[in-house]
Structure 1
């Protein structure tokens, strides 16, 4: 019986506010990276939801700003590059 090692997995995604791609606090950019969508789409959805809820969702932005940690300046942007070497063949 031959046992093969599974392929190495990338580290898990983290919901963080980036320091490079932000307009106000980086909340939309962080959500966009986490959900793998364009941050502009997140901003548009947020603006439409503010209009549809008569401004109630405006309270969500400062809450997310407070709860989402800021990523370190030396952290690689998500998705992380796949520089991991392939597993050895047996």
Structure 2
């Protein structure tokens, strides 16, 4: 089996805080993991399914 490309969307197991979802997305798109985590926490005060989306991404995105 070939190794995944460096740009594949995978949860980051080395730079994770909870599940590695934000770190994996940040790595995929070249963003700061801490900045993305902060944006997620701030977005949780807004109405919407942010927490459910995080849980779904935790289940759907494979770990590296």
The TM-score with structure 1 as length reference comes to 0.61
5 Å matches for 1:69-80? 69-71=62-64
2:59 to 61, 66, 74: 66
Residue 6 of structure 2 corresponds to residue 27 of structure 1: no
- Unaligned 5+ residue runs, structure 1? 1-10, 72-90
Q: How many residues are treated as equivalent by the alignment?
A: 60
Larger radius of gyration: 1
TM superposition outliers: structure 1 runs of 4+ over 6 Å: none
The whole-number CA distance in structure 1 between the counterparts of 2:6 and 2:38 is 27
- Structure 1 residue 12 displacement after superposition: 6.1
Structure 2: 5+ residue stretches without partners: none
Q: TM-score, normalised by structure 2?
A: 0.83
Question: Which of the numbers 43, 50, 62 marks the counterpart of 1:57?
Answer: 50
Deviation at 1:28, TM superposition (A): 0.6
Partner of 1:5: none
